[in-house]
Chains A and B, each alone.
Chain A
Amino acid sequence: MAGKRKLERAAALGGPVLSVRDLKVGYGNRVLMRDVVFDVAPQDIFFIMGGSGCGKSSLLRVLMGLAEPQSGSVNYGSSAFWPGEEETRYKVMRRCGTLFQNGALWSSMTLAENVGLILEQYTDLDPEELRRQVVVKLSMVGLAGFEDFYPSEISGGMRKRAGLARALALDPEILFLDEPSAGLDPVSSRQLDELVVELSQSLQSTFIIVSHELASILSIATNGIFLDADSKRMAAKGRPQDMLTDPSTPPVVMRFLTRGGEGPMPGLPSGGKMANVHAGGGI
């Protein structure tokens, strides 16, 4: 799609779509994360992982141009993003789509208007063609028929998908997803993961996802970094599945990927099998 041509160009040059060098992220005098270095290749499903409060979302805000890094550089293809001209950043952001944590749909507008507003802003489509675009975008995320519903009239999972449809409005090259699974049940969360994989293959877009949802990380990530809150540095990078089997993976990352250890959870009867809790009755 729109992203495809640029990705092809980036891929032809053999370059990453996003490269981050020596990035320092924080607020005021407070440093959240330093020495962040990574590249995102075209069509990656790239996860930014880490425990709560380690600066994942702050890093994402820097990548999205919403906050300035304390030092270091961010480049999208050949465009200098940070440090860089505001106009360049604006042009780069035009090629990106974002799904915010709670969908961040505009509550006074219907789903169609939410998606349509972005198309109206950036294109000169006539209303009929615009409506057709909106319907296709909403259908792609499984929300056909919900065009005239308000965000308050649909469920949390549907709001997430509608947010994704809005992020897809301009056929972005890169999609940012901030905690896409937060607040979703495992089935909806899995459906969203499947949608991400399907979109990444068919749209050939790159996904940059902030998450600490292990199931998603281990099933769909093709690449990623792990941020460690204690050392305020990156603890590991690469494919999370490979991190699990790599003996050189730092213990802090291993603990995260195995939910704090392999053994049974202390305090649960019979090796933590929940079925036994029910069998025991007593509630």
Chain B
Amino acid sequence: MDADPQVNAQCHGDVLQVVVGGTWNIDTDSTPAMEDALLKLKGGVRELLLEARGLGQWDSSLLVFLVRMMKVARSSDIAVTLHVPDGLSRLVNMAQRPSTCKTPKKPRDPFLFHIGAWFLSLAPDVADFLGFLKSLFQAFHGMLLGRTQMRFQDFFGAMETCGMRSLPIVACTSMLFGLILAFVGAVQLARFGAEIYVAGLVGIAMLRIMGAIMVGVVMAGRVGAAFAAELGTMQVNEEVDALEVNGISPLEFLVLPRVLALTLMIPLLTLYADIMGCLGGYLVGILVLNLNPMEYYSATLNMTPFYHVLIGLVYAVVFGIVIGVVGCYQGLRCGRSAQAVGNATTAAVVHAIVGIIVMTALITIFFNALKL
């Protein structure tokens, strides 16, 4: 028996006899002999006779060939006779089952259609988000009145995730940021012999705004993404549906504890980041600029009035709400597939960071108008 697939096609009048034999392996692509048989089939044949002779090992490559021959024959109204082993002929029949698909071809929408659809979906999306905010506000209001389905266990768990577990990353990033600020500032200030003003530069920048922004960005990546992925997976597993059908509001049960925990924890983390950032500046001051430690310390206190800390906290609270709400919203609006969870997580981080920047701009304009 040959190691290759054998196809022998011969025309007897208007009958095409195709004899298959040899060894058929799924790795074999279609051979010239197969193409020859197909070609002969298209040359005015009225009957096709498929036979197996000297057939050794075979697999679905033979099946595919036979099905292909029969399909071509059928499309040209050629009668087919099949003389192959029983198992093979049963498989051929199975492989030719009529399609049960009622809409076999999915309409492919043109590119412009997608742009239009996206634009039209904007308004409902915004309305949906506002509706979500309204329900969340109502849930919060209910909680203040003592009517809530929120589990405080979840609230404390979320506080731990958002707060304590985020300390190392916040310490690392904000300290390095303070350090960078001090270095960059020192280069310019040293030209005027005003190195000591590095203390004020780092102090005001960190306390007033950069501490909150650093924490916001880190938390958007760390916690906002986690919220979206967690709620998204719950959505996929129908856990959210299970809450709803049992009369438990997912908003009160899932969203409220997370948003509250984040809104409470981000200001605390911001204070921590402020201290770490100033510490970074302090290290540069005394180790690189050779400033006196006490002098740097008192300069920081003198040049940074306390209201900067309060302004920083206003930013922090707003960022906490933005990250929490966006993360949970994306999670709850997630589709029901693994890919949808990935999309929700990405959207949560991207929207939260954009939200942080937009809110920073608005709050900065606001305080500027107040001349603070």
Residues of B within 8 A of A25 (CB): none
Asked if B98 is at the interface of the complex by the 8 Å CB criterion, the answer is: yes
Residues of B within 8 A of A171 (CB): 26, 59-60
Given contacts A2-B60, A171-B59, A198-B94, list 19 more A-B pairs with CB under 8 A. Answer: A1-B59, A2-B57, A4-B58, A4-B87, A107-B337, A119-B26, A132-B64, A133-B60, A136-B67, A137-B60, A140-B91, A140-B94, A146-B99, A146-B101, A148-B105, A171-B26, A198-B90, A202-B86, A202-B87
The reply to whether A142 and B29 contact each other, CB–CB distance below 8 Å, is: no
The reply to whether B97 and A4 contact each other, CB–CB distance below 8 Å, is: no
List CB contacts (< 8 Å) of B62-87 with chain A.
63-64, 67-68, 86-87
B343 CB → nearest A CB, Å: 11
Give bound CA distance, A137 to B91, whole Å: 10
Give bound CA distance, A136 to B30, whole Å: 15
The reply to whether B339 and A201 contact each other, CB–CB distance below 8 Å, is: no
Asked if B95 is at the interface of the complex by the 8 Å CB criterion, the answer is: yes
Residues of A within 8 A of B68 (CB): 132
B356 CB → nearest A CB, Å: 30
20 contacts between A and B (CB under 8 A): A4-B57, A4-B59, A4-B87, A107-B337, A108-B338, A108-B339, A123-B26, A125-B26, A133-B60, A136-B60, A136-B64, A136-B67, A136-B95, A140-B94, A142-B100, A170-B26, A199-B94, A202-B87, A202-B90, A202-B94
Smallest CB-CB separation from A130: which chain B residue?
B29
Q: How large is the interface on B (under 10, 10 to 19, 20 to 34, 35 or more residues)?
A: 35 or more
B335 CB → nearest A CB, Å: 8
The reply to whether B98 and A1 contact each other, CB–CB distance below 8 Å, is: no
Smallest CB-CB separation from B104: which chain A residue?
A145
A residues engaging B (CB < 8 A)? 1-2, 4-5, 107-108, 119, 123-126, 128-129, 132-133, 136-137, 139-140, 142-146, 148-149, 151-152, 170-171, 198-199, 201-204
Asked if B138 is at the interface of the complex by the 8 Å CB criterion, the answer is: no
Contact of B100 among A123, A137, A144, A199 (CB under 8 A): A144
Smallest CB-CB separation from A148: which chain B residue?
B106
Give bound CA distance, A132 to B26, whole Å: 12
Q: A139-B97, A145-B100 are in contact. Are A201 and B106 (CB under 8 A)?
A: no
Q: A107-B337, A125-B27 are in contact. Are A144 and B98 (CB under 8 A)?
A: yes
Give bound CA distance, A4 to B56, whole Å: 10
Asked if B96 is at the interface of the complex by the 8 Å CB criterion, the answer is: yes
Give bound CA distance, A5 to B23, whole Å: 10
Residues of A within 8 A of B106 (CB): 148-149
Residues of B within 8 A of A198 (CB): 90, 94
List CB contacts (< 8 Å) of B320-352 with chain A.
335-339
Contact of B60 among A1, A128, A146 (CB under 8 A): A1
Give bound CA distance, A132 to B29, whole Å: 11
Q: A133-B60, A171-B60, A198-B90 are in contact. Are A144 and B99 (CB under 8 A)?
A: yes
Smallest CB-CB separation from A1: which chain B residue?
B59
The reply to whether A139 and B27 contact each other, CB–CB distance below 8 Å, is: no
A6 CB → nearest B CB, Å: 9
A236 CB → nearest B CB, Å: 32
A-B pairs, top 10 by smallest CB distance, nearest first, are A145-B101, A145-B99, A145-B104, A144-B99, A202-B90, A5-B57, A107-B337, A1-B59, A2-B59, A171-B59
Give bound CA distance, A151 to B335, whole Å: 13
Q: A4-B58, A137-B60, A144-B100 are in contact. Are A107 and B339 (CB under 8 A)?
A: yes
Residues of A within 8 A of B339 (CB): 107-108
A interface footprint on B101-121 (CB within 8 Å = 1, 0 otherwise): 100111000000000000000
